[in-house]
Structure 1
Amino acid sequence: MLKLTLLFARDERGATSIEYGLIAGAIAIVLATVMTTLGNDLTAAFQRIMALFPETQT
C-alpha cells in the first residue's frame, strides 16, 4: 500500500493539463473583463456619434 501511495504522489501526468486549464481560465477572465470595458466604451462612442446626426422622418 505504501508503494502505491508513493507512486501516486510522484505521478505528474495530469499536472500539465491542470496548468493549461488554469492558464486558459485566467485568459478567459481577462478577456471577459476587457470586453466588458471595451463594450461600454464603444456603446458610449456610438451614442455620441448618433447624437451628432439629426433624427429623420421615414
Structure 2
Amino acid sequence: MLSLYTNLSVRLRSNEKGATAVEYGIMVGLIAVVIIVAVSLLGGSLNAMFEQVQCQVGGGTWSATAAAEGVSAGGTCAYPTTP
C-alpha cells in the first residue's frame, strides 16, 4: 500500500503539463503587450502613409504638412479638376 502512495506522489510531482500551460499563457500575454505598444507607437505614421497612398492611387496630388515633434505628419489630397 505504501508503494502505491509513493508511486502516485512521484507521478504527481513529475507532471508538468500545468506549468507548461501557464508559461504559454505568459508568453501570449507578453506578445500581446508588444503588439499593442508597437501599434500605438506606429499607428499615426502608418495612417498618414496609407492616406498618401490612397491619394496617389486615386490620381490626386499629396501635399504633406510639417510634423511637430512627437506628432505624425499628415497632409491633404488635391484631385485635379476636369473641365
RMSD of aligned alpha carbons:
2.1
Residues paired across the two proteins, number? 52
1:7-57 deviations in whole A, cap 9, x for unaligned?
Answer: 2210114532x1x32331221111111111111111112212224546232
Higher helix share: 1
Segments of structure 1 that go 5 or more residues without pairing to the other structure are none
Q: Which residue of 2 aligns with 1:15?
A: 13
TM-score, normalised relative to structure 2 = 0.48
- The alignment status of 1:35 with 2:31, answered yes or no, reads yes
Segments of structure 2 that go 5 or more residues without pairing to the other structure are 58-83
Q: Which residue of 2 aligns with 1:26?
A: 22
Aligned mates of 1:37, 1:13 — CA distance in 2: 36
Higher strand share: 2
Question: Identity rate of aligned residues, in percent?
Answer: 6
SS in 2 for 1:57: helix
Aligned mates of 1:10, 1:50 — CA distance in 2: 61
